[in-house]
C-alpha cells in the first residue's frame, strides 16, 4: 500500500473508532445510532484488512467476520434514519445478517488465493454481488421514500444531501474498482478513495443524527392502522409520564431536594431512566434534567424573594429552593434571571419586580 493511501486508511480507521466510542458513550441512543455503532466498528476492521498480510490466521478471520457489517449495516442505518425508530424490523436484521455471513465467507476464502474456486464459492460470490448491489441501491433510494413537499426545507435538504454524499462515495469507489482491474496502477488510488469516502460518510451520518435529535423523521401514514396504534400508545404513555412528572414537581416539589438524581426520580415514577430523560429533552424541550430542576428552583426562589416578609438571608433562600450551596444558586439565578438574587429582591421591594428573560415563564409547561 502506497504511503498516502496508508495514511488515509489510518485516518479513516481512527475516525471509525472515534465514531464507535462516541456512540457508545451516549446514554440515550436511538436505533439508528446503535446500528451505526456496529457499522463504525465493522468499517474500522474492514479498512484494516489490507494490513493483515502477515497476521495469524485467527486474526484474519476475526477481521473478515467483524468487517462484514458495512454496506448491509448501513442499509439498516438508512432505514432507521429516514423511517424512525420503527423502520428496522427483525426480518431486515436477518437479511443484513445473511449478507454479513456471505461477506465473511467470501473474505475468508479470499485469504487462500491459491485455492481452486469451487461451484459453491462461485455461487456465493454471485449472490454477494447481487445482494450487496441491491442493498446499496436501496440505501441510496431510502431518502426518496414517501417524499412530500409538505416536509420542511431542512428535511428535504438532509435527504438530498444524503443521496449526494452516499451516491458520490459509492460511484467513485465502484468506478475505481472496475478501472483498477484494467489499470493496476489505480489500485492505491482506490484504497485511498475508499478510506476518504468512509470518513465522509461517518462524518455526514453524525451530522444527520444531530439533526434527528431535534427533528424526528416524518411519520409515514402508509404503514396503516398498526403504526397509528403504536404512535397513539406512545403518546398516551408520554402524557401519563408527563402528568406524573408534573405532580412530582408542582405538588411534591422534588426540585427542593439538593441531591435528587434522574435515576432516583425515574424510580419514583415507575419508569426507566432513559425514558424519563427522553421525555425531558425531546418532548419537553429541556437541555437536560439539571436544567429542568434549576428552572423550578429559580422560580421557587423568586417567589421567596418577592415575599415582603421573606427570608433575609440569601443562603436560606438557596437552601429552601433546593441548591446545596450558595455559589451554584447565584450562578443559576443570574443565568436565568439576568440579575443577582439580592438585586431581584431589592427590585421587588420597590414594587417593580423584574420580568422573566424574554417574557418567558420559568415554570415548565407539561400539558
Mean pLDDT of 161-167: 95
Whose CA is closest to 286, among 262, 268, 308?
262
Q: How confident is the model at residue 354 (pLDDT cuts 50, 70, 90)?
A: low
The per-residue pLDDT for range 16-28, each reduced to its tens digit, is 999 999 999 887 7
The per-residue pLDDT for range 265-302, each reduced to its tens digit, is 999 888 888 888 888 887 777 888 999 999 999 999 99
* Residue 84 parent element (H or E): none
Supply the pLDDT for residue 293: 93
Mean pLDDT of 185-200: 88
CB proximity list for 253: less than 8 A, separation 6 or greater: 300
The per-residue pLDDT for range 174-192, each reduced to its tens digit, is 898 888 888 888 877 888 8
In the predicted model, what is the mean pLDDT of the chain?
83
% of the chain surpassing 90 pLDDT: 36
pLDDT at 233 over 90: no
pLDDT at 161 over 90: yes
DSSP calls for 197-225: HHHHHHHHHHHHHHHHHHSPPPP-GGG-H
- Helix or strand or coil: residue 353? coil
Least confident of 18-32, 162-176, 219-233, 341-355: 219-233
Cβ-based burial of 121 (10 A; exposed 0-12, middle 13-18, buried ≥19): middle
Q: How confident is the model at residue 222 (pLDDT cuts 50, 70, 90)?
A: very low
State the Cα torsion 316-318-322-324 to the nearest 10°: -100
Q: How confident is the model at residue 110 (pLDDT cuts 50, 70, 90)?
A: low
Cα distance between residue 199 and residue 192, in whole Å: 11
More confident residue, 220 or 190: 190
Provide the whole-model pTM: 0.59
Mean pLDDT of 221-249: 64
pLDDT at 226 over 60: no
Domains of the chain: residue spans and CATH: 3-223 (1.20.1070.10), 225-359 (1.10.10.60)
Mean pLDDT of 314-330: 91
DSSP calls for 275-321: HHHHIIIIIS--S-HHHHHHHHHHHHHHHHHHSTT--S-HHHHHHHT
More confident residue, 2 or 283: 283
Amino acid at each position: 500500500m502506497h504511503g498516502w493511501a496508508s495514511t488515509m486508511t489510518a485516518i479513516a480507521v481512527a475516525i471509525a473508532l472515534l465514531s464507535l466510542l462516541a456512540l457508545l458513550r451516549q446514554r440515550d441512543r436511538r436505533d439508528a445510532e446503535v446500528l451505526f455503532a456496529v457499522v463504525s466498528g465493522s468499517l474500522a476492521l474492514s479498512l484494516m484488512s489490507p494490513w493483515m498480510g502477515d497476521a495469524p490466521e485467527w486474526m484474519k478471520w476475526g477481521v473478515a467476520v467483524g468487517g462484514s457489517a458495512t454496506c448491509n449495516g448501513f442499509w439498516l442505518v438508512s432505514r432507521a434514519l429516514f423511517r424512525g425508530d420503527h423502520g428496522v424490523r427483525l426480518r431486515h436484521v436477518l437479511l443484513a445478517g445473511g449478507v454479513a455471513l456471505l461477506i465473511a465467507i467470501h473474505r475468508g476464502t479470499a485469504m487462500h488465493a491459491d485455492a481452486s474456486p469451487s461451484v459453491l464459492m462461485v455461487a456465493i460470490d454471485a449472490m454477494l454481488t447481487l445482494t450487496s448491489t441491491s442493498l446499496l441501491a436501496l440505501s441510496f433510494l431510502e431518502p426518496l421514500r414517501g417524499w412530500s413537499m409538505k416536509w420542511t426545507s431542512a428535511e428535504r435538504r438532509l435527504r438530498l444531501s444524503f443521496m449526494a454524499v452516499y451516491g458520490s462515495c459509492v460511484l467513485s469507489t465502484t468506478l475505481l474498482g472496475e478501472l483498477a482491474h484494467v489499470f493496476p496502477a489505480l489500485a492505491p488510488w482506490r484504497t485511498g478513495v475508499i478510506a476518504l469516502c468512509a470518513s465522509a460518510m461517518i462524518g455526514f451520518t453524525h451530522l444527520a443524527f444531530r439533526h434527528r435529535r431535534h427533528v424526528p423523521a416524518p411519520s409515514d401514514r402508509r404503514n396503516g392502522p398498526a403504526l397509528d396504534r403504536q404512535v397513539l400508545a406512545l403518546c398516551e404513555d408520554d402524557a401519563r409520564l408527563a402528568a406524573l412528572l408534573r405532580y412530582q414537581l408542582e405538588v411534591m416539589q422534588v426540585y427542593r431536594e439538593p441531591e435528587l438524581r434522574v435515576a432516583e426520580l425515574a424510580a419514583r415514577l415507575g419508569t426507566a431512566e432513559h425514558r424519563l430523560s427522553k421525555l425531558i429533552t425531546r418532548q419537553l424541550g429541556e437541555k437536560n434534567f439539571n436544567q429542568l430542576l434549576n428552572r423550578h428552583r429559580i422560580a421557587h426562589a423568586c417567589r421567596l424573594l418577592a415575599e415582603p416578609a421573606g427570608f433575609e438571608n440569601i443562603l436560606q433562600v438557596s437552601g429552601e429552593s433546593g441548591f446545596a450551596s450558595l455559589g451554584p444558586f447565584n450562578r443559576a439565578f443570574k443565568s436565568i434571571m439576568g440579575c443577582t438574587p439580592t438585586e431581584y429582591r431589592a427590585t421587588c421591594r420597590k414594587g417593580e419586580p423584574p420580568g422573566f428573560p424574554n417574557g418567558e415563564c420559568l415554570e415548565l409547561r407539561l400539558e
